[in-house]
Amino acid sequence: MRIRWVSIISSILIATSGLLGARTLTRVDQDLRVMHAEYTLAATDLGHVTGELIRYRTSIIRAMEADTKQDFLRIAESFSQKQARIDKAIERFVKASNSASSGKTMDARELVELKAVQEKLDAYMASSHRTITLMEQQWNAKSSVEAQRLREEAEDNAANDAGAKFIAMTLELDRLLDVVAGIAGEVKKDADARLRVETMVIVGVSMGLAALVLLFPSS
């Protein structure tokens, strides 16, 4: 009778050990998916923001170099579309970051940096719109002297004010990317620690089962 109870307990422990091992593997798989898929996707979206910003600024420079009003208007038509792509890239980053978080909300550090990014982006866009307005006024100027003055003012604004704000924006994006990378590293560290603890539990249970088999053989 005693041996029978030992066999039953051993069977229960074996089943529990198997379930615990399966749960451990599932958790590790989920953590790896978060780190290598969703956080990677968030970082990729930040790269897209930078790329779209570069394309936007390049288009403004091309517009300033336009030889005719028609060329300027053709290039200027793409400004709103390029700005919309920047906004969508940021929205994709927010969505990816929320998905990566276990609570489905962004980490507080991400929120702080994202707010700073949006403030820098608003400042850069406002300065860029000033440059665009000056170029529009240039092509509608009533004299060549006024047109030249407006062109020089647009070039100065684009190079100095908007240029400084563009650099500040890209630096803030780099800081946000560093925060995302840091959070991903913390997720990995937590997953490794949890894996070690649960592995030790499984090893302990296995050693206990082995001891039971040695102390109370079935025959």
| Span 51-69, pLDDT tens digits | 889 999 999 999 999 999 9
Does any domain span residue 8? no
In a domain, 67, yes or no: yes
Q: Is residue 141 part of a domain?
A: yes
Which residue did the predictor score with more confidence, 63 or 10?
Answer: 63
Q: Is residue 3 part of a domain?
A: no
CATH number, domain of 183, equals 1.20.120
Q: Output the CA torsion sign for 106, 109, 111, 113.
A: negative
Check whether 18 has a pLDDT greater than 80.
Answer: no
Is 175 within the bounds of a domain? Answer: yes
Chain segment 135-194, per-residue pLDDT in tens: 999 999 999 999 999 999 999 999 999 999 999 999 998 888 888 878 777 777 776 777
Average pLDDT over residues 192-202: 70
Q: Is residue 207 part of a domain?
A: yes
- Here the tokens at position 8 are 């039953």
Instruction: Give the pLDDT confidence of 93-103 residue by residue, as tens digits.
Output: 877 777 666 55
The answer to the question of residue 68 being in a domain is yes
Question: What tokens were used for 182?
Answer: 């840091």
3-35 b/e (C-beta count within 10 Å ≥ 16 → b): eeebeeebeeeeeebeeebeebeeeeeebeebb
- Number of compact structural domains in the chain: 1
Q: How confident is the model at residue 50 (pLDDT cuts 50, 70, 90)?
A: confident
Q: Which domain holds residue 46?
A: 15-211
Q: Does residue 57 form part of some domain?
A: yes
Torsion angle of the four alpha carbons 73, 79, 81, 84, in this order, in degrees rounded to the nearest 10: -160
Residues 6 or more apart whose CB falls under 8 angstroms from that of 200 comprise none
Joined together, the tokens standing for residue 210 give: 């082995």
